[in-house]
Amino acid sequence: MTDTVIRAEGLGKRFIIGHKVERDGLLREAMTTGARSLFRRGAEFLKGRASNTPGETEEFWALRDLNFEIRRGELVSIIGHNGAGKSTLLKVLSRITEPTRGRVEINGRVNSLLEVGTGFHPELTGRENIFLNGAILGMSRAEMRRRFDEIVAFSGVGKFIDTPVKRYSVGMYVRLAFAVAAHLEAEILVVDEVLSVGDAEFQSRCINRMSEVAGSGRTVLFVSHNFAAVTALTRRSIVLEGGVLTFDGPVDAGLAHYTASLGKPERIRHWGRGKDATLISAKLVDADGAATENFTPGTPLRLKVVVETTGMPGMSLVAILRDHHNLPVGLYSSASFSNIPLPTTAGRYECLLSLDPLYLAAGEYNIDLQTTSTAIVVDHRVDGAVQFFVNACNPGSVGYDFRQDQGAGHLALRLSAPLHFESLSTEEAPSLHSDRRLG
């Protein structure tokens, strides 16, 4: 069958972004703007209506005029930068949020997987959480019972199945969560970036499992930054940029289109918000504090990051350095590496993150920034927040350019002591030594 299962026509989604006070949804602002305004707002919220007056809010179109069709059994990846509208699109398709313009027609049952372990409760045991999570994802109890043993086996949690998950290690927790998700079956499966959790071995098992699902004639929509997974799982790509569909076609061409768009100098993006700590802006700066796109190997890597926090204690600022294949090169975490969490007084802060000199190979790099509350709970995440280039890398000033695309890694390794070759030839060695001593 090749009938259409999803048809989007002129699909648009607008968010109203209020200024800080409105976002809090508190009366404080209303009180300061006078009694009349307070009464007006009072009357409005009794009616449950929004009370935003013009000038206090701004509009933001996360999706603009999308038109596409997806046929039964198609495997489609949606790619784009952070803030390009991928997740919003998935949320619209899975009925979590309503479109502002246009329409979507869906034929079939959509099950969405926007996060692993949705609704997991720390006090409940692994067994209980499997049933809870399954029900939340839309599986029936009969279905769950049938698949229960399979899920437990897949998770590898084994004898801890009757232990409350709050006693699990992070790894076990994620495995269990993914095991349930991996057994979710639907006519139309919508999957957000969920393969980025777990270790490499577990990830590859997940990808295998996903391709089994995909191979059985189901329609799959898949968002990921993981190029390997995108290529392995999907045949067609939809590329979003700033909420606009810029490419729709075979997956290889889609990835090429996406990679090309990375190099565009002006990326107007919306970074969204975190719950407790929001990244506002970030740039690479030189020694004088001026913004730059170029990094000179062997100098400190300086990032100026503006972050807004609600004052939640224990929040960490995390930076992940990535190469031009989007593979991770290195990690910095303020709480874990330096024991410096974000300030606990609410407000907006600027900080200069000055990292030890690195001899990075020439090429393009991206830095993902995140704020995290614990080791795995990411509060706000901006992939590719900072992009920079290393024009040349000649660590010994010898005139040799070490490049990323040589496939020999990203770091020029440096000596900690002068290199000295000592001969180990058995016959001549003693005399050489003695000669030198004499000399």
DSSP H/E element including 320:
strand 316-322
Answer yes or no: are the C-beta atoms of 277 and 309 closer than 8 Å: yes
User: How many Cβ atoms are within 10 Å of 8's Cβ, its own excluded?
Assistant: 22
φ, ψ at 140 (rounded to 5°): -85, 160
Give the span between the Cα atoms of 131 and 28, in whole angstroms.
43
- Kindly give the interhelix angle for 170-182 and 141-155, rounded to the nearest 10 degrees: 140
Q: How far is the CB of 192 from other proteins (least distance, A)?
A: 9
Q: How far is the CB of 174 from other proteins (least distance, A)?
A: 16
- Write down the residue that tokens 């509009």 correspond to: 59
Task: Provide the token pair at 71.
Answer: 């046929």
Cβ proximity to other proteins: between 28 and 436 the closer is 28
Task: Provide the token pair at 96.
Answer: 């979590």
Answer yes or no: are the C-beta atoms of 379 and 274 closer than 8 Å: yes
Q: How far is the CB of 24 from other proteins (least distance, A)?
A: 7
Q: How far is the CB of 296 from other proteins (least distance, A)?
A: 43
Task: Provide the token pair at 222.
Answer: 């898949």
- Kindly give the interhelix angle for 141-155 and 126-137, rounded to the nearest 10 degrees: 130
Cβ proximity to other proteins: between 25 and 289 the closer is 25
φ, ψ at 393 (rounded to 5°): -130, 105
- Write down the residue that tokens 């139309």 correspond to: 188
CA of 280: how far to CAs of 159, 304, 351, 371, 372, in Å?
Answer: 44, 11, 12, 11, 15
Cβ proximity to other proteins: between 11 and 233 the closer is 11
Cβ proximity to other proteins: between 118 and 203 the closer is 118
Q: Is 414 exposed, middle or buried (0-12, 13-18, 19+ CB in 10 A)?
A: exposed
- Pick left, alpha or beta for residue 384 (phi over 0 → left; psi -120 to 50 → alpha; otherwise beta): left
Beta partners for 294?
A: 389
Q: How far is the CB of 114 from other proteins (least distance, A)?
A: 5
Pairing between β-strand 188-191 and β-strand 75-80 as defined by DSSP bridges: unpaired
- Write down the residue that tokens 């046929």 correspond to: 71
Task: Provide the token pair at 354.
Answer: 């000055």
Q: How far is the CB of 92 from other proteins (least distance, A)?
A: 7
Cβ proximity to other proteins: between 17 and 228 the closer is 17
Q: How far is the CB of 81 from other proteins (least distance, A)?
A: 21
Site for other proteins, rule CB under 8 A: 15, 24-27, 45, 47-48, 50, 91-110, 112, 114-115, 118-119, 121, 123-124, 128, 131-132, 135-138, 140-143, 185-187
Cβ proximity to other proteins: between 92 and 358 the closer is 92
Q: How far is the CB of 134 from other proteins (least distance, A)?
A: 9
Cβ proximity to other proteins: between 26 and 260 the closer is 26
| Long-range contacts of 429-436, Cβ-Cβ distance < 8 Å, separation of 24 or more | none
CA of 308: how far to CAs of 24, 344, 379, in Å?
Answer: 14, 11, 12
Answer yes or no: are the C-beta atoms of 260 and 84 closer than 8 Å: no
Task: Provide the token pair at 95.
Answer: 């009925």
